[in-house]
Amino acid sequence: MALGTIESVLPHCDWKSLGEEKKKKKRKKKKEKKKKKENNNNNNKNNKDNKTNNKNKNKNKNKKNKNIKNKKKNKKNMKNKKKKKKRKKKKKNNNNNKNK
């Protein structure tokens, strides 16, 4: 052991075990970071899935509402068509009666 080296100044310190502890801490930190990243990715994926699910739900809801509106519209149109037809028939009959 040469003078001026760390070992000569602090011979009581176990440098090897200190290095191992440092490595352990580093590994632990790395693992935690990885876990955090994974969780974050999972959360993002879930949020994305939820967003798309909600989008699809809303799309379906809007489609359903549109269908209901269209059905009502069609019903109304059909009623009006029938009324128009009746009026035409009545008019035709009146004209026929006048011509007799």
Sign of CA dihedral 28, 29, 33, 34: negative
User: Does residue 35 lie within any of the structural domains?
Assistant: yes
Within a domain: residue 10? no
pLDDT digits (tens, 9 = 90+) for 84-100: 888 888 888 877 777 66
What are the percentages of helix, strand and coil residues in the chain, rounded to 5?
Answer: 90, 0, 10
Residue in this structure with the two tokens 């109304």, named with its chain if needed:
76
What is the total count of domains within the chain? 1
Query: Does 27 reside within a domain?
Result: yes
What is the extent of the structural domain holding 79?
Answer: 22-99
Q: Identify whether the C-beta of residue 7 lies closer than 8 Å to the C-beta of residue 15.
A: yes
End-to-end CA distance of the chain, in Å? 139
Q: Read off the pTM.
A: 0.37
* Mean pLDDT across 27-56: 90
